[in-house]
Structure 1
Amino acid sequence: MQKIIIFAVAILTSMASCTDLDVVPNSKLTDETVYREKSEFLNGLSGVNSTLGIWSEVVFKAGTSADDMILPARGADWKGDIQAVHSHTWTPDNSEMGAVYTGISKIIAVSNSYIDAIDNSSFSNDADVVVMRADARFVRAFAYFLMLDYFGNVPLVTTSAYDSQNPPKQNTRKELYEFVESELKEIANILPEKTEYGRYDRYAAKTLLAKLYLNAEVYLGKGNAKWEDVATLTQEIMSKSDYILEDNFKDVFKWDNYNSKEIIFSVICDSQNTYPENISYLFSISDLREKYGSFAAGWGGSAALPSLIHSYDPNDVRLEAFLFGPQVDADGNPLMATDDQGVERQLNYSVDFTSNDPVNNADHWDGARGVKYLMDGIGGTMVERGLNNDMPILRYADVLMMRAEALFRINPNDTEALDLVNKVRTRNGHNPVPAFDKLTEENLLAERGREFAWEGWRRNDQIRFGTWGNAWDYKEASEDYRTLFPIPQVQIDSNPNLKQNPGY
């Protein structure tokens, strides 16, 4: 299988000018100007999919609020609002939160423009175009899933039309939940059972729906659990789809992971030809040109929290997603670099931070670095800035883990739940990683943390398991209201219909 790349630069530019939910897109996409031929709709869909590049920002900005990642200030580097995200002391003026809100809004605005262009065209009833419309609805549903998960109460906008005299009304988290649920149920009946890589099949919709149901009590309140629904959906995906758990964990993240049968929904990254870039390594590594190549100067920011690294069994292949200890070049020679004290010595990333103030003034060599997309080396033709590895958002391992959790919640002694977790836990170890004898809430949450580290879901998991307000590495206990991020103040100021989330 080859990665399908569609060029849509001009279309994407015209579609992506709106970044806020209450601002009209300055789009030229009309039946008269763009969609005169059926073939043009596929290019337009490429523009929609390209907006998913925000996932990198979600992972490395919202992600640093969870207990698997920190993006500390290192001297004068990285100093700003991101430290408040780790410490759970953010305010509505936090620029990092604002960037996440704006990026998700862009996905919604571009999707709305594309859907409206289809509806206003002469191809609106064409069978192929109807499926493309469902693809865009899936992307929009995913964006609204993120909105309800992060911000809770935001406007629900499903059209590119805009009246400046009547800005969008604020919707409740429950209303957004019901919209996402309804959309995913409907488009699951439109999307095909199988499709080419880079498009969405019905099982992608069902997997995202299971993910929505997983946190139903978070979104709707106690007593609204959907464990039976999660179990039913995941069983259907397991029995009817062609997705599998890869034998080799590294195959899910390597440069040609578009061939992986574990990936259900991903950000397609191609450093030469498409807008989304996999720049996960840039956030984390530095001084590693002699190890990986000229691109690996990196920005040297984000690092794993020590408790995450210490939680892995030493034989766990997933530990190779992190780089720590003395570093060597491509030939195995000590990799020399200058430390914060101006001394040239072997580069050594320390798991436990050496600084007295790890959040606000970490040493540049403090912390294990994330190399999940470099575990299997580098391949393909790439430019200096971005890797070609696609970024999984939903994968089959999560289907197994979601089903395991649902069965565990229904019956803590369920044997299938234990077997599913162990199936994920023990694959491809250099030496056998001990299987669990019994599932508990604690080891289930910890196992999700090890499996999906730095993939953008840790906050979602912690809130569901009730650990979000706890103290952890370099963070004190935080207030209950911080399970929701604040609506950015700039949004409040621009739309009089918006009210801030409680506590802010």
Structure 2
Amino acid sequence: MIMLNHHTNKLLLFISAFLLVSCDKLLEIPEPKNSLTTEKVFNNETQAKGAMAGVLTQMINSSAYGSFSAGLSSQLGRTSADELDNVLNPGDNYYRNALTAQDGQSNGIWNSAYQTIYGANGVIEGIAESKSPLLGEKLRKELTAEAKFIRAFCYFYLVNTYGDVPLVLTINLAKNTNIERTPTTKVYEQIVTDLKDAANILPADYASGNGERIRANKWAAKALLARVYLYTGNYGDAILEATDVIGQTSLYQLELVDLNKVFLKNSSESIWQLQQNTQVDFSGNAVPEAIYLMPSPLHTGVSSDLSPNLLRAFDEGDLRKAAWIDSTDFVSGSNMVHARFVYKYKTGLHNKVVNAEAPEYYMVLRLAEMYLVRGEARVLNGPISTGIEDLNVLRRRAGVDPLPTSLGKEEALAAVAKERQAELFGEWAHRWFDLKRTGKAEAVLSAIPAKQPWRGNYQLLYPIPKEELERNHFLKQNPNY
């Protein structure tokens, strides 16, 4: 947990109250432009830092099943994609791709993302309006840049989950009342603008997190920008941004010896992590998502099973499968069930300790993804052989044979998809988003027995929360819900 003094802790109570406004007021948060916001919370550097810390704390310390940034995006992404089989609730509509407007678990993605956006907007506006001479110009710029990074991160998950979404860039009530959905292309333009601003201003080190990789820096902004460029088809710039991050060898190195070290806090592969509060009873020193990922007891507890589609992504002897997948045997009814589960984090319900040092932080951005982003962009932008070499960096690290650089474009793209599956499985809905953005979702998902009959590609976007539509008649539901 980020350590703050007594006065800042009291300020965080205000910030937390601001962020945790009831979800039914999500787009109607009253304008907090008053003396408390500008003159108190942003009166000096310690207090302004505390405000930003409050936004980050809210992102990770919500229930994993209640916040997009504490595990909900990962969980629903695994379930909607093809990463799970024999789930504990086979009637789950996310697993069956049979969603209706009444399926509300994904509402947590919408609600928590907009709560975080409001917190980021509050920091941006509060700093801009503060006239305090105790708040230095350098910190003003850096905290504003960090808030823009957080805002861009939230909008990336919103547009990839719901499509067009309201673009909220202020805490001004008059501007946010009855706001319409903004086209995805326009939201992406704002994401790129925010990330460029962040990359230009944020420091290149981790001094703001006291050396821990828990605060976004220049390279985190560039890493997310590389991903955004890949998603939007700007392959040349995706290559440039990913290359910039990969080139920071004094900060970032792939873990070549022991893959079990990749997800440790401040690992050499981590670009940005979220730090959990170890005093929370339900998760203790575990990453909140890991509480749900692993069975308890570890090898005899109940778990969903990883799918054949995922397991086929690993070549024989792939060290990622050995290090990042474990199994459990448990009795269900009269049957003995053998299930495989994601084991990237090693601390879960079975061994968590309240108020103990955290061995792992929640990994958000890591170096391996940059090789995958650059590799795919190079395959699409040419020359293909250089993209294959990026894939081979990860394959050699995983202990499997490199791919021939003579692969054709379609073969190379299939190799990219398989490598992304093997490297990023279970993380942050990567597989779910990959299937959708590459146009492979219907072909892959409709072949899974539990997802038949295929009800239509409208299922690839989640429904807008019903309460939002009832409150704001300018919002329109996604088609067919």
- For Structure 1 versus Structure 2, the TM-score category normalised by the shorter chain is 0.7 to 0.9
| Secondary structure of 2:353's aligned partner | coil
| Secondary structure of 2:42's aligned partner | coil
Q: Which residue of 1 aligns with 2:315?
A: 313
Q: Which residue of 2 aligns with 1:200?
A: 216
Give a deviation string over 1:177-210, Cα, whole Å, max 9, x none: 1111111112211111222322211121111111
Distance 1:401 1:478 in 2: 32
Q: Is the 8 A contact 2:88 2:304 kept in 1?
A: no
Residues 414/279 of structure 1: CA separation in 2 closer, same or farther (3 Å cut) = same
The letter of the residue matching 1:238 is I
Q: CA deviation at 1:385?
A: 11
Distance 1:158 1:49 in 2: 18
Q: Which residue of 2 aligns with 1:332?
A: none
Q: Which residue of 2 aligns with 1:362?
A: none
Give a deviation string over 1:199-251, Cα, whole Å, max 9, x none: 211121111111111111xxxxxxxx311111121122222463222213221
Q: Which residue of 1 aligns with 2:210?
A: none
Q: Which residue of 2 aligns with 1:501?
A: 478
Residues 338/186 of structure 1: CA separation in 2 closer, same or farther (3 Å cut) = closer
Q: Does 1:16 align with 2:19?
A: yes
Q: Which residue of 1 aligns with 2:63?
A: none
Gap runs ≥5 in structure 1: 217-224, 327-336, 351-366
The letter of the residue matching 1:178 is E
Distance 2:389 2:480 in 1: 42
Residues 375/313 of structure 1: CA separation in 2 closer, same or farther (3 Å cut) = farther
After superposition, residues 207-226 of structure 1 pair within 5 angstroms as: 207-216=223-232, 225-226=233-234
Q: Which residue of 1 aligns with 2:386?
A: 416
| Secondary structure of 2:442's aligned partner | coil
Q: Does 1:85 align with 2:89?
A: no
Q: Is the 8 A contact 1:262 1:396 kept in 2?
A: yes
Residues 339/153 of structure 1: CA separation in 2 closer, same or farther (3 Å cut) = closer
Distance 2:167 2:19 in 1: 18
Q: Which residue of 2 aligns with 1:158?
A: 169
Q: CA deviation at 1:67?
A: 1.3
Correspondence for 1:58 among 54, 73, 86: 73
TM-score w.r.t. the length of structure 1 is: 0.79
Q: Is the 8 A contact 2:269 2:366 kept in 1?
A: yes
Distance 2:139 2:197 in 1: 17
Give a deviation string over 1:435-485, Cα, whole Å, max 9, x none: 222452222201101100110211111112221112244323452333322
Q: CA deviation at 1:260?
A: 0.9
Q: Which residue of 1 aligns with 2:245?
A: 237
Q: Is the 8 A contact 1:21 1:108 kept in 2?
A: no
Give a deviation string over 1:140-179, Cα, whole Å, max 9, x none: 1100111111112221111222139942232111211111
Give a deviation string over 1:470-502, Cα, whole Å, max 9, x none: 224432345233332222222111111111223
| Secondary structure of 1:31's aligned partner | helix
Q: Which residue of 2 aligns with 1:267?
A: 274
Residues 275/135 of structure 1: CA separation in 2 closer, same or farther (3 Å cut) = farther
Deviates more, 1:150-159 or 1:4-13: 4-13
| Secondary structure of 1:444's aligned partner | helix
Distance 1:422 1:39 in 2: 46
After superposition, residues 326-405 of structure 1 pair within 5 angstroms as: 338-341=331-334, 349-350=337-338, 367-374=339-346, 382-383=353-354, 388-405=359-376
After superposition, residues 95-244 of structure 1 pair within 5 angstroms as: 95-123=104-132, 126-163=137-174, 166-196=177-207, 197-216=213-232, 225-240=233-248, 242-244=251-253
Q: Is the 8 A contact 1:15 1:25 kept in 2?
A: no
Q: Is the 8 A contact 1:270 1:386 kept in 2?
A: no
Distance 1:261 1:250 in 2: 12
Q: Does 1:460 align with 2:433?
A: yes
Q: Is the 8 A contact 1:227 1:406 kept in 2?
A: yes
| Secondary structure of 1:259's aligned partner | coil
Q: CA deviation at 1:120?
A: 2.2
The letter of the residue matching 1:23 is E
Distance 1:376 1:421 in 2: 31
Q: Which residue of 2 aligns with 1:249?
A: 259
Residues 112/301 of structure 1: CA separation in 2 closer, same or farther (3 Å cut) = farther
Q: Does 1:486 align with 2:457?
A: no
Correspondence for 2:402 among 435, 443, 459: 435
The letter of the residue matching 1:173 is T
- Answer 1 or 2: which has greater helix percent: 2
The percent of aligned pairs where both chains have the same amino acid is 23
The letter of the residue matching 2:80 is S
Q: CA deviation at 1:400?
A: 0.7
Residues 480/339 of structure 1: CA separation in 2 closer, same or farther (3 Å cut) = closer
Distance 1:89 1:30 in 2: 44
Q: CA deviation at 1:398?
A: 0.6
Q: Which residue of 2 aligns with 1:354?
A: none
Residues 436/6 of structure 1: CA separation in 2 closer, same or farther (3 Å cut) = farther
Deviates more, 1:32-41 or 1:95-104: 32-41
Distance 1:440 1:175 in 2: 31
Deviates more, 1:172-181 or 1:232-241: 232-241
Give a deviation string over 1:70-105, Cα, whole Å, max 9, x none: 58344xxxx87xx11122211222111212211211
| Secondary structure of 1:163's aligned partner | helix
Distance 2:72 2:357 in 1: 14
Gap runs ≥5 in structure 2: 61-66, 208-212
Residues 33/480 of structure 1: CA separation in 2 closer, same or farther (3 Å cut) = same
- Number of residue equivalences: 442
Q: Is the 8 A contact 2:204 2:218 kept in 1?
A: yes
Q: CA deviation at 1:426?
A: 2.4
Runs of 4+ displaced beyond 4 Å: 3-9, 25-29, 273-277, 375-379, 384-388
Q: Which residue of 1 aligns with 2:64?
A: none
The letter of the residue matching 2:381 is I
Q: Is the 8 A contact 1:61 1:100 kept in 2?
A: no
Distance 2:354 2:193 in 1: 41
